[in-house]
């Protein structure tokens, strides 16, 4: 009791300090300005600087000035204009659309990313300009002669081989600069496997392929550099990245953050729950764990620290919440669009299936955050210091129109590319009309050009990753490696589904530590998914399973980029923040196991060809409730708190209940419910006894 009183006094003192730090202004002014006035001036953070510090791509960027900077801007605007035009008026032939997309991406990449640490950070070297010329020649050759490429059928001439080798080496080098060395290394290993097939052991052995065959397959066909990943990057992905850039310029990110504060800031878990909600909003359109962490974390992490959360926990909350954005509809991350191409299932059906698991992920993270706040005895921010949701909707609710429109267009049967194109046009129209009405210059022609530039530059990393991952897919299709790996996984797991899922989860997390989510998904979609399907896991559930755990890799030490970004903002230990972020998200680990075993959680009745037959929501409700019970049990076990601290017996029972609920059923559900409700009632009785004493 004395400890509790001491904690209450500390919280009261902290709350008093918070109140003293708030500027004196009217409630109306606060509602208009949002939440920044709660943050002290000395805690305002430079988002661009944070991105450079913790984002792999942003940290390497050159800082060019003058004519060179203008040239890059013009090229980026031209790239976005090209993609906008083809989205609205029809894409080019596959070879042409993809090759021009790569030319743009590689040129921008070579301009912005130096070859090494000792390279100039102010201007490209002569080698960079030479490589730009190589990109124009080798991929321009494909652009100019697409029919010949298709008709040759792999019968490469000497010129084709020279250009092909140059294209492969160039792709690996630009990807190394932009994304990092891990993905090119993986690609080199796969290319070596294609050549040294006869020397491989056991089931991995194959007849081997000549250098000519490998190069022609990677360069001239549509199963290598020009494969499905690049095709998706050149259409769906680019348009949605550009859509996100336009939303950012119109101020929707700031609106989301203010809305989240207004909705949840007053709760016991206050700013931490706000981080969860705001990151869910932002992540659904940003598709980047690190960018999401930095953008929303610049506001939420200082507030969490002010209200009593330890720095490492504040950074971890933001990282865990931001990471889930890549699985949150309506936009999700780039991998979702590639999933649509790999499976043949429409993007609309994918986001419908992904919706419940995404909500459950945030429910799990929110539960962990709430339990931590309860354990610490924290309090939320007084309502009078928060923006009112109703006022925000009245003043800035129009910013949601583009997001609503993109969902409408998808439901109406538009392709993702066309839906994104229309939504971009609507976002521009909405921004211009709002600016004219307000007369505040909030969206200018400069902002329009800035969005075009930001969209193109933001797509470079994805384009490079997709081009390189395309070669990995090419090796898999050429050698039949996917089926061999599937057989190995099933054999090692001895046909046990749970073990197979566990091995796949581990592979997803390990690959996700070094590879971007998009590349990781592509690799596992061709290698691990066949093993899951062999054990009769639903096709869509199998793909969502590997996507889910590949995303979680962003908060899994030792390489947890989102967690490290959160630690940088919070001023905490990076590794400690990473393990805490993993702990916060741990309750969410139960979700993909449930939908892999029971596709009712993603509401899938059956898949007929490429069409998903969804079941009524009411039919999926029992499995959803099982997942909720499992999340609550695991969260309470991990956090060692339900409505008071749990003892060892309660923790063991709660953990056991959570594990049993991986495979929902009447008996497991009943056991989980009894354990959860029983623990709650026992703890409530204990609280009453202490209060009475």
Q: What is the pLDDT of residues 235-275, one digit of tens each?
A: 988 998 899 889 888 888 788 888 888 888 888 888 788 88
Q: Which residue has the higher pLDDT, 156 or 81?
A: 81
Residues 128-147: what's their mean pLDDT? 96
pLDDT of amino acid 50: 59
Q: Ranked by mean pLDDT, which of 59-68, 362-371, 585-594 comes out on top?
A: 362-371
pLDDT of amino acid 494: 87
Distance CA 442, CA 439 (A): 8
Distance CA 513, CA 560 (A): 7
Instruction: Express each pLDDT in 181-225 by its tens digit.
Output: 988 999 999 999 999 999 998 888 999 999 999 999 999 988 899
pLDDT of amino acid 456: 94
The SS3 of residue 560 is coil
Model confidence at 555, pLDDT cuts 50, 70, 90, reads: confident
Distance CA 266, CA 531 (A): 47
Do residues 546 and 528 make contact, with C-beta atoms less than 8 angstroms apart?
yes
Q: Ranked by mean pLDDT, which of 360-369, 479-488, 522-531, 544-553 comes out on top?
A: 360-369
pLDDT of residue 589 exceeding 50 = yes
The first and second tokens of residue 157, run together, are 């001439």
Residues 571-583: what's their mean pLDDT? 89
pLDDT of residue 31 exceeding 60 = no
pLDDT of amino acid 52: 58
The pLDDT mean for the chain works out to 85
Do residues 224 and 218 make contact, with C-beta atoms less than 8 angstroms apart?
yes
pLDDT of residue 2 exceeding 60 = no
Q: Which residue blocks in 598-660 are alpha helix, DSSP H?
A: 617-639, 648-660
Distance CA 260, CA 362 (A): 14
Distance CA 553, CA 195 (A): 31
Contacts of range 424-429, beta carbons closer than 8 Å, 24 or more positions apart: 424/84, 424/239, 424/242, 424/243, 424/246, 426/401, 426/402, 427/243, 427/246, 427/247, 427/250, 427/401, 427/402, 428/246
Q: Which residue has the higher pLDDT, 38 or 521?
A: 521
Model confidence at 51, pLDDT cuts 50, 70, 90, reads: low
Residues 56-76: what's their mean pLDDT? 83
CA atoms within 13 A on the CB side of 486: 21
Distance CA 682, CA 687 (A): 9
128-132, 247-251, 642-646: least confident range: 247-251
DSSP H or E stretch at residue 88: helix 66-89
Residues 595-605: what's their mean pLDDT? 91
Do residues 213 and 195 make contact, with C-beta atoms less than 8 angstroms apart?
no
pLDDT of residue 23 exceeding 50 = no
Model confidence at 316, pLDDT cuts 50, 70, 90, reads: very high
Residues 627-655: what's their mean pLDDT? 93
């Amino acid at each position: 009791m004395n400890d509790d009183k001491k904690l209450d006094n500390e919280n009261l003192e902290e709350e008093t300090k918070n109140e003293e730090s708030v500027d004196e202004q009217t409630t109306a002014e606060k509602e208009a300005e949002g939440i920044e006035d709660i943050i002290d001036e000395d805690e305002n953070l430079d988002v661009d600087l944070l991105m450079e510090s913790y984002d792999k791509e942003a940290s390497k960027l050159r800082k060019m000035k003058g004519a060179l900077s203008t040239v890059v801007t013009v090229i980026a605007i031209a790239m976005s204009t090209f993609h906008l035009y083809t989205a609205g008026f029809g894409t080019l032939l596959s070879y042409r659309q993809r090759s021009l997309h790569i030319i743009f991406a590689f040129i921008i990449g070579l301009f912005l990313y130096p070859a090494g640490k000792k390279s100039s950070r102010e201007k490209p070297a002569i080698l960079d300009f030479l490589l730009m010329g190589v990109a124009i020649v080798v991929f321009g050759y494909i652009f100019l002669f697409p029919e010949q490429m298709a008709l040759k059928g792999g019968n490469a001439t000497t010129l084709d081989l020279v250009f092909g080798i140059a294209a492969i080496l160039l792709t690996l080098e630009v990807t190394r600069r932009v994304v990092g060395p891990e993905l090119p290394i993986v690609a080199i290993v796969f290319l070596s496997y294609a050549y040294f097939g006869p020397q491989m052991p056991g089931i991995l052995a194959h007849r081997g392929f000549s250098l000519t065959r490998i190069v022609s397959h990677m360069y001239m066909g549509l199963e290598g550099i020009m494969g499905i990943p690049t095709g998706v990057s050149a259409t769906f992905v680019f348009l949605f990245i550009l859509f996100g850039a336009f939303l950012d310029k119109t101020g929707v990110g700031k609106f989301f953050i203010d809305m989240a504060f207004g909705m949840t800031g007053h709760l016991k878990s206050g700013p931490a729950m706000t981080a969860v909600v705001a990151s869910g909003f932002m992540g659904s359109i940003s598709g980047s764990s690190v960018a999401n962490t930095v953008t929303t974390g610049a506001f939420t992490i200082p507030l969490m620290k002010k209200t009593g959360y330890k720095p490492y926990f504040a950074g971890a909350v933001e990282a865990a919440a931001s990471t889930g954005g890549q699985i949150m509809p309506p936009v999700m991350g780039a991998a979702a669009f590639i999933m649509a191409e790999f499976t043949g299932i429409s993007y609309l059906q994918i986001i419908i299936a992904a919706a419940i698991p995404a909500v459950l992920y945030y429910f799990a993270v929110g539960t962990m955050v709430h339990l931590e706040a309860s354990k610490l005895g924290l309090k939320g921010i007084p309502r009078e210091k928060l923006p009112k949701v109703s006022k925000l909707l009245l003043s800035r609710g129009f910013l949601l129109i583009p997001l609503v429109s993109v969902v409408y267009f998808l439901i109406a049967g538009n392709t993702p590319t066309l839906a994104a194109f229309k939504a971009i046009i609507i976002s521009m129209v909405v921004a211009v009309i709002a600016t004219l009405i307000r007369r505040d210059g909030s969206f200018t022609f400069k902002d329009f050009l800035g969005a075009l530039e930001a969209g193109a530059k933001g797509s470079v990393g994805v384009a490079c990753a997709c081009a390189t991952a395309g070669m990995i897919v090419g090796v898999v299709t050429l050698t039949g490696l996917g089926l061999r790996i599937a057989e190995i996984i099933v054999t090692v797991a001895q046909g046990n589904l749970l073990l197979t899922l566990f091995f796949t989860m581990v592979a997803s997390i390990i690959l996700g530590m070094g590879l971007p989510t998009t590349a990781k998904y592509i690799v596992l979609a061709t290698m691990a998914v066949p093993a899951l399907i062999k054990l009769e896991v639903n096709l869509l559930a199998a793909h969502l399973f590997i996507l889910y755990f590949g995303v979680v890799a962003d908060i899994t030490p030792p390489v947890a980029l989102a967690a490290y970004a959160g630690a940088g903002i919070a001023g905490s230990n990076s590794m400690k923040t990473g393990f805490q972020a993993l702990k916060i998200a741990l309750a969410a680990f139960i979700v993909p196991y449930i939908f892999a075993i029971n596709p009712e959680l993603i509401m899938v009745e059956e898949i007929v060809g490429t069409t998903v037959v969804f079941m009524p929501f009411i039919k999926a409700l029992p499995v959803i409730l099982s997942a909720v019970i499992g999340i609550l049990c695991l969260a309470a076990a991990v956090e060692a708190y339900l409505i008071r601290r749990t003892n060892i017996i309660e923790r063991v029972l709660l953990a056991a209940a959570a594990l049993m609920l991986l495979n929902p059923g009447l008996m497991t559900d009943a056991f989980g419910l009894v354990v959860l409700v029983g623990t709650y009632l026992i703890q409530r009785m204990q609280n009453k006894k202490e209060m009475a004493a």
